[in-house]
Amino acid sequence: MRRHRHAKIVATVGPASSAPDRLKALFLAGVDTFRLNFSHGTHDDHAKVHASIRALEKEVGRPIGILLDLQGPKIRVGTVKDGRLDVVAGESIRFVLDGADGDTQAIPLRHPEIFAAVVPGQDLLIDDGRVRVRVTGLEADSITAEVITGGVISNRKGVNLPGTLLDLSPLTQKDRADLAFGLDLGVDWVALSFVQKPSDMIEGRSLIGDRAGVMAKIEKPQALDRIEDIIRLSDAVMVARGDLGVEIPHEDVPGRQKELIRACRLAVKPVIVATQMLDSMVSAPAPTRAEASDVATAIYDGADAVMLSAESATGQYPVEAVSMMDRIIRSVEGHKLYHSIVAASDPGEEETPPHAVATATAVLAEALHAKAIVTYTSSGTTAARVARKRPEPPILALTPNLATARRLCLLWGAHPVQTEDVNSYEEMTAKAGHYAQAEEFGRPNDYIVVAAGIPFHTTGNTNNIRVIQI
């Protein structure tokens, strides 16, 4: 069961998609990796979904990735009098560290890290920026601010601080409990929310180790200042455009998306573009033209994967949303300008033998019009190095590790297959030809190009290319 596209689809599981039959329908429609959003649902809910996905994996005989997305710190106002406060531009309001059911002079904001970090002149965004206030005064337990954009402040609305680096761990006590639970289940990826600096990734890695891939969600502008280090410390990256778009100007988001995709390709790390990609399909059977163009842009940019959130979690048309995303991707990748556009954004590669061999493999496969590139990989690195070039032939990634096969469900162009490792050159060529046919990539007399590391069983040592005629 092969996908006739290179870019991958990630779908969030929720009430609209958690039943076993619905998960199967989503997989058949095109989902490669399922996202479990731990901002919602109980551990029991997620355990049932995880078990259903693993049962589906056995039924279809294909690896399926599972991404655990941690909630991260949530900064919110407390409760206010009568449940809402109407504020107008030019009005002075006050936030207090302690208090309940406040009015405009005592809005509860029980986050001491904010009081320790903000300075006059900085903005606070409330309810995804619907209300904007600017700090004018600061005391130990209160903040005075002027309303710049008026609106309604209601109970428990979120607060963003776009210009402020907060002394706050990306992992709350809830996140740590969720993480331990998810790792025991056996998830393949863990996404860390609220990443601001490289040390946040180090903290996450210290808890996760090698039990799952560590993904950085880029949703804070502070992360953009240290993005190269954050990417280097990550196994993958998610461009979380929703929260990022609250804290940086909307017009800057498309450019930042392109920068992040390029940086991840250079670092050989999978990158997901997420948030509101087909948002109207939460309640409509078809997207807007602008949404279709948004998905297409991410594919032209060279993203490894695109993601559905509410569309598949709570929407009325989850299967249709996946099918639409699949159709958009295949249409873009089949367009006559696709490969030239993606090639034009090639970030180059490191000048090392493994990277050079992977590049040569991709170039050779295209020159021969090979039906597939076969990579032997234990960690997924060889397949990722080849995928960075975005070659036209698909990548048949053979690995002895099931965990690697599941993680490769996020990698552009990769069709992962778990198989026993090879021990000789002859076995390598024979197995490559066998799986190329078995997985419906090639027929007798077709060419395939094989990339591997010699000696075998050596991680990250891509040093050998072989052309095979099946």
Cα–Cα dist 403/63, whole Å: 9
What is the Cα–Cα distance from 47 to 438, expressed in whole angstroms?
A: 33
Q: Any catalytic annotation for residue 79?
A: no
Catalytic residue among 5, 62, 132, 217: 217
Q: Which of 35, 256, 265, 407 is catalytic?
A: 35
Query: Is-catalytic flag, 211?
Result: no
Among residues 42, 40, 32, 26, the alpha carbon closest in space to that of 3 is found at 32
Please say if 174 is a catalytic residue: no
Q: At what angle do helices 173-185 and 198-208 cross, to 10 degrees?
A: 50
- Eight-state DSSP code of residue 250: G
Contact (CB, 8 A) for 153 and 79: no
Give Cβ neighbours of residue 319 (< 8 Å, ≥ 6 apart): 22, 25, 26, 29
DSSP state of 422: P
What is d(CA 186, CA 361) in angstroms, rounded to the nearest whole number?
33
54 catalytic residue (yes or no): no
Find residue 213's DSSP bridge partners: 189
12, 33, 164, 275: which is the annotated catalytic residue? 275
Q: Could you write out the DSSP letters of every residue in 120-155?
A: TT-EEEETTTTEEEEEEEEETTEEEEEEEE-EEEET
Catalytic residue chosen out of the listed positions 76, 205, 327, 330: 76
DSSP label at 209?
T
> Known catalytic residues?
35, 76, 217, 275
